[in-house]
Chain A
């Protein structure tokens, strides 16, 4: 029986086999210059023996583990999931509602256990405005009327979301949506994706060459103006049978680039969403977090 043992020696990592097959040190090929080969073998074998001896004294083993994290929601009572639509705003370049619906449906189709309901995404900005006493929503859900026409302020910042987010507590509305789609688990919420600019000192690494041409990397504080985006989604999980909210969670992610970097808004949107997807999926299914631990003798 062989056990794989790992030991750290002067900052280097060696893998050593211990157990019955200890004497399995690789022998160098005898072809070529036998003498120089033998003269190399001796110091090499001493080093190997030393490392072996050290390994025998070292009583730890690195081992990969996977920690299962249980889902936050019990979805046993559901067979379908409807990603209904999102209250969205912040940036005109990206339709955060449509993009979020598409992304989450695609993820749930690939990684979820529930059947994903294919339905036209709801334009919740208008529906929320209508429920707030504004004019009726447009006949077609894809008809994106300006929020200014609907009685609620346009969504530019986090505080603008508040009057829209009241829609998530309208139990009758969500119950009705649930009935239309055979009582699925409803995923909705709000997505604020907005540009962000900041300035200040940042630490950068700079290459420096001395008089002998030797390269050194030194940290340097530089004043910089940077621009990027903030993504602030709230995912709300609603029981389609009752219209009640089962679970809700809010995230905030931001990304900043140098001012001369041109990154498309949609690309930044997906980059930020990508960071949140594992946690979003963990609401409905168990996830495994991979890591390494050290076993001790």
Chain B
């Protein structure tokens, strides 16, 4: 009897885990999309909140890190922006768009550093 219960619990966990993960991915995607909408209206702090939430829900979501990096850049939080870009590049090294964003960021950031900031 005990073995049966354990087996049933394990089975539930095995079957339910992908669906829970899929739910989290969907929620992360929703957060990213909402973040894009508010960023387009200039509400960058709200966008940061949404994209941070998305990265918590799905820590492998490169686009969320990319967007977060852009938002940090816009807010002048350059160290955080660099870290987020690096994470985005490491998660999706083949994305030319992420790389291009990061290159543009580095151009500004390096100039600021060179100027003595």
Q: Which residues of A contact B (CB under 8 A)?
A: 1, 3-4, 59-61, 63, 65-70, 72, 247, 249, 279, 282, 289, 291, 293-297
Q: How far is the CB of B76 from chain A (nearest CB, A)?
A: 4
The answer to whether A69 and B112 touch across the interface, beta carbons within 8 angstroms, is yes
Measured CB to CB, the nearest residue on chain A to B32 is: A297
User: Chain B residues with Cβ under 8 A from A282's Cβ?
Assistant: 115
Q: 8 smallest A-B Cβ distances: which pairs?
A: A296-B63, A68-B76, A65-B74, A293-B70, A294-B97, A293-B101, A69-B112, A295-B67
Tally of A-B residue pairs with Cβ under 8 A?
69
Q: How far is the CB of B77 from chain A (nearest CB, A)?
A: 10
Contact of B63 among A1, A289, A293, A297 (CB under 8 A): A297
Give the size range of B's interface with the partner: 20 to 34
Of the candidate stretches B3-11, B13-21, B35-43, the one touching chain A is B35-43
User: Chain B residues with Cβ under 8 A from A59's Cβ?
Assistant: 63
Measured CB to CB, the nearest residue on chain A to B104 is: A291
Main secondary structure of the interface of A (DSSP, over half): strand
**Within B41-99, which residues are at the interface with A (CB < 8 Å)?**
62-63, 66-67, 70, 73-76, 78, 95, 97-98
The answer to whether B36 and A61 touch across the interface, beta carbons within 8 angstroms, is yes
Measured CB to CB, the nearest residue on chain B to A248 is: B116
Q: Which residues of B contact A (CB under 8 A)?
A: 29, 32-33, 36-37, 39-40, 62-63, 66-67, 70, 73-76, 78, 95, 97-98, 100-101, 104-105, 108, 112, 115-117
The answer to whether A63 and B33 touch across the interface, beta carbons within 8 angstroms, is no
User: Chain A residues with Cβ under 8 A from B75's Cβ?
Assistant: 68
**A294–B76 Cα gap in the complex (Å)?**
17
Q: How far is the CB of A70 from chain B (nearest CB, A)?
A: 6
The answer to whether B36 and A297 touch across the interface, beta carbons within 8 angstroms, is yes
**A61–B29 Cα gap in the complex (Å)?**
15
**A244–B55 Cα gap in the complex (Å)?**
48
Measured CB to CB, the nearest residue on chain A to B73 is: A67
Measured CB to CB, the nearest residue on chain B to A66 is: B74
